[in-house]
Amino acid sequence: MEFRQIRYFLEISEAGTFQRAASRLGLTQPALSRQISLLEKELGASVLERGGKEVRLTHEGEIFYQYSKQMKELWDRMQEDLSNDKELKGHYSISAGGTVSAWILPPILKEILQRRPKLSLSVREGDAQETKDALLKGEVDLGILTGPISEPGLTSLEFLSDKIFPVAAKNHPIFLKKKIRSQDLLEESFVLFHPASALRKAVEKRIKSFAKDIRPKIGMELRSVESVIRSIEAGLGIGFLSEYSITSKLRKIQIEDWITERKFYLCYKKKIRAGVSLLAEEIYSYGKKGT
Q: Considering the chain, tell me which residue range(s) the CATH 3.40.190.10 domain(s) occupy.
A: 90-160+266-289
Q: How confident is the model at residue 241 (pLDDT cuts 50, 70, 90)?
A: very high
pLDDT score for 26: 87
- 50 vs 18: CA distance, rounded Å: 9
Asked if residue 16 lies in contact with residue 88, where contact means CB atoms within 8 angstroms, the answer is: no
Rounded distance between C-alpha atoms, residue 117 and residue 107, angstroms? 16
Q: Is 46 helix (H, G, I), strand (E, B) or coil?
A: coil
* pLDDT value at 85 more than 60: no
Look up residue 219 and give its amino acid. Answer: G
Look up the CATH architecture of domain 90-160+266-289: 3-Layer(aba) Sandwich (3.40)
Of the chain, the percentage scoring pLDDT greater than 70 comes to 94
Q: Tell me which of 77 and 58 has the higher pLDDT.
A: 58
Highest mean pLDDT among 5-14, 90-99, 230-239: 230-239
235, 225, 239, 252: which is closest to 190 by C-alpha? 239
pTM comes to 0.65
Identify the band that residue 231 occupies on the pLDDT scale cut at 50, 70 and 90: very high
Is the pLDDT confidence value at 49 over 60? yes
Query: Does the pLDDT at position 86 exceed 70?
Result: no
More confident residue, 133 or 216: 133
Topology, domain 161-263: D-Maltodextrin-Binding Protein; domain 2 (3.40.190)
pLDDT grade for 83, boundaries at 50, 70 and 90: low
Helix 18-25 with 3-15: angle, nearest 10 deg = 130
Question: DSSP assignment, residue 4?
Answer: H
Coil, strand or helix at 254 = coil
User: What residue spans in the chain does CATH classification 1.10.10.10 cover?
Assistant: 3-82
| Average pLDDT score over residue span 80-107 | 82
Separation between Cα atoms, residue 19 and residue 60, nearest integer Å: 22
Q: Do 191 and 235 touch, CB atoms closer than 8 A?
A: no
Residue range 157-208, pLDDT digits in tens:
998 999 999 999 999 999 999 999 988 998 999 999 998 888 999 998 888 8
Q: What is the Cα–Cα distance from 47 to 1, expressed in whole angstroms?
A: 14
Give me the residues paired with residue 268 across strands.
155
> Which residues have a Cβ under 8 Å from the Cβ of 127 and sit 6 or more positions away?
97, 194, 196, 197, 198
pLDDT-based confidence at 88, cuts 50/70/90?
Answer: confident
Region 256-285: what's the mean pLDDT?
A: 88
Q: Which residues, listed in sequence order, are joined to residue 51 by a DSSP beta bridge?
A: none
pLDDT surpassing 70 at residue 227: yes
Mean pLDDT of 140-155: 88
- Could you give the C-alpha distances from 69 to 3, 6, 57, 222, 269, in angstroms and in order? 12, 9, 14, 36, 22
pLDDT at 274 over 80: no
Per-residue pLDDT at 270: 79
Q: What is the mean pLDDT of the chain?
A: 88
Within its chain, how far is the Cα of 199 from the centroid? 16
Among the residue ranges 45-59, 75-89, 138-152, 160-174, the one predicted with the least confidence is: 75-89
CA-CA distance, 105 to 89, in Å (whole number)?
18
Helix (H) or strand (E) holding 119: strand 119-125
CATH class of 3-82: mainly alpha
pLDDT of residue 79: 67
Which DSSP symbol is given to 260?
E
If phi > 0 it is left, if psi is from -120 to 50 it is alpha, else beta; for residue 44 that is left
